[in-house]
Amino acid sequence: MNSTTLTGFVLECSGIRKKFGDLVAVDGVGFHIAPGETYGLLGPNGAGKTTTISIIAGLLERDAGEVSIAGEVMNPQSTAAKRHVGLVPQDLAIYPDLDARENLRFFGKLYGMRGAELNQRVDEVLEIIELRDRASDRSEEYSGGMKRRLNIGIGLLHRPTLLILDEPTVGVDPQSRNAILESVEQLGEQGMAVLYTTHYMEEAERLCDRIGIIDQGTIRAEGTQQELVQLVGQRDRVRLVATGNLTAGAAALGNLADVDESAVTADGIDLIVKAAHNRLPEILAAATRTGVSVAGVDVDTANLEALFLHLTGRALRE
């Protein structure tokens, strides 16, 4: 990675560190994004995703580390670097008293767009986010999905080199969620570099060319989906829907042959097992022996969730 030229990447960052009081929210995060690439930061709530991208977007000062966007050093004063970034904050960030067109025009002007260029681009974006018909209504009257789309449209408006989306589907109904995912896919296909944070494994798997798994402020593993899954080897995730003494059960199951990891979840026990189909009878017998009653079994072939459990000893969704 260090041998590639500096200017080859849209984003390069390394050693980012940020403390809030005694809490180290981000501890040595570094990665890079190539032009046209969609990079996912996958991690649970509180992992440090928002803090990381706030530093990358120049909102927050960092305690240590380097960030450069399209060759420009990023910091809160750097207007040159900020010009290249489009940010879609985690929470809605639109003016409710203004309509969609006014929201877009305002932010377009902040990025130096004017006149015909601005008007034309605003129309284009209204088309992309499917708000043309409602462009003159106050945005406070929009549905949740429409507000989300406007939120994303503002980030796109000035044709950023790097678009950063912070958990854009949280709290969104399934239909709007799908629409959002589709538009992110399209942007990726059109060659925009995207940094996408999420705690949904499926989204990372669907959208991202490469994924960094982040937990407690550090990136635990990084690569394409295939590369990451190989880290877990030929391991499957076995999810037991169970009741009873789960702690004792998880401990007992963890000692069985070919069981690499075991963890208690909200509704049972998750296991990482080599070639699970061979071991299922033994697992169920051992569970029963330790006083765990199993109501259902679900076997997934290796995926990111299994990897997360493998890396951290905890389930991604708790």
Partner 1 sequence: MSTAWTIATKDLRERLRDRSAYIMGIVAPLALALIFGFALNPLKNYEFSATYAVVDLDGSEVSRLFVDDVLRQAPGVEVLQLATTEEGLALVESDGNPFAETEGTTADALYIIPRGFGADVQSEREVDLQVVGNAMAESNAGIAVALAQGYASELTSVRITVATVEGLLQREVDRFTTGLAVLATPYPTTITDISAETKQLDGITFYAAGMAIFFLFFSVQFGVTSLLEERQAGTLSRLLAAPISKRSIITGKLISAFLVGIVSVAVLMIATTLVLDADWGNPVGVALLVVAAVLSAMGITALISSFARTAEQATSMVTVAGVILGFLGGTFFDVAQAGGIVADLRFVSPHAWFMQGLADLSAGDLGVVVVPVLVLLAFGLVTGALGMAGIGKGLRP
Ligand X SMILES: Nc1ncnc2c1ncn2[C@@H]1O[C@H](COP(=O)(O)OP(=O)(O)O)[C@@H](O)[C@H]1O
Contact segment (CB under 8 A) with partner 1 among 51-59, 129-137, 199-207, 209-217 equals: 51-59
Beta strands in 63-198, from DSSP E residues, in sequence order: 64-69, 72-73, 85-88, 162-166, 193-198
Beta strands in the chain, from DSSP E residues, in sequence order: 11-20, 23-33, 38-42, 64-69, 72-73, 85-88, 162-166, 193-198, 210-215, 218-223, 235-244, 259-265, 268-274, 292-300
Ordered strands of the 235-244 beta sheet = 259-265, 268-274, 235-244, 292-300
CB 59 to partner 1: min, Å: 5
With CB under 5 to 8 Å by kind, the binding choice for 67 among partner 1, Mg ion, ligand X, none is: none
CB 172 to Mg ion: min, Å: 15
CB 25 to ligand X: min, Å: 3
CB 275 to partner 1: min, Å: 48
Element (H, E) at 188: helix 174-189
For partner 1, the binding residues in 73-92 under the rule CB under 8 A are: 76-77, 79-80, 82-83, 85, 87, 89, 91-92
Cβ proximity of 82 and 74 under 8 Å = yes
Nearer of residues 25 and 157 to ligand X, judged by Cβ: 25
Residue 291 as a binder of partner 1 (CB under 8 A): the answer is: no
Cβ proximity of 122 and 157 under 8 Å = yes
Cβ proximity of 273 and 260 under 8 Å = yes
Give the residue among 168, 167, 198, 270 at the shortest CA–CA distance from 44.
198
Give the residue among 242, 254, 230 at the shortest CA–CA distance from 292.
242
Binding mask 20-59 for ligand X (x = CB under 6 A): x--x-x-----------------x-xxxxxxx--------
What DSSP string describes 85-106?
A: EEEE-SS----TTSBHHHHHHH
With CB under 5 to 8 Å by kind, the binding choice for 25 among ligand X, Mg ion, partner 1, none is: ligand X
23 burial class (0-12, 13-18, 19+ CB within 10 angstroms)? Answer: exposed
Cβ proximity of 250 and 290 under 8 Å = no
CB 63 to ligand X: min, Å: 13
Nearer of residues 50 and 312 to ligand X, judged by Cβ: 50
Residue 59 as a binder of partner 1 (CB under 8 A): the answer is: yes
Residue 50 as a binder of Mg ion (CB under 5 A): the answer is: yes
With CB under 5 to 8 Å by kind, the binding choice for 207 among partner 1, Mg ion, ligand X, none is: none
For partner 1, the binding residues in 108-137 under the rule CB under 8 A are: 109-112
**How far apart are alpha carbons 182 and 176 in whole angstroms?**
10
Residue 60 as a binder of partner 1 (CB under 8 A): the answer is: yes
CB 65 to ligand X: min, Å: 15
Pick the binder of partner 1 from 19, 28, 36, 93 (CB under 8 A).
93
CB 17 to ligand X: min, Å: 12
Give the residue among 132, 121, 116, 195 at the shortest CA–CA distance from 154.
121
**How far apart are alpha carbons 65 and 53 in whole angstroms?**
13
Contact segment (CB under 6 A) with ligand X among 18-26, 27-35, 73-81, 282-290 equals: 18-26
| Interface residue list for ligand X (CB under 6 A) | 20, 23, 25, 43, 45-51
| Interface residue list for partner 1 (CB under 8 A) | 54, 57-60, 76-77, 79-80, 82-83, 85, 87, 89, 91-98, 102, 106-107, 109-112, 138, 154
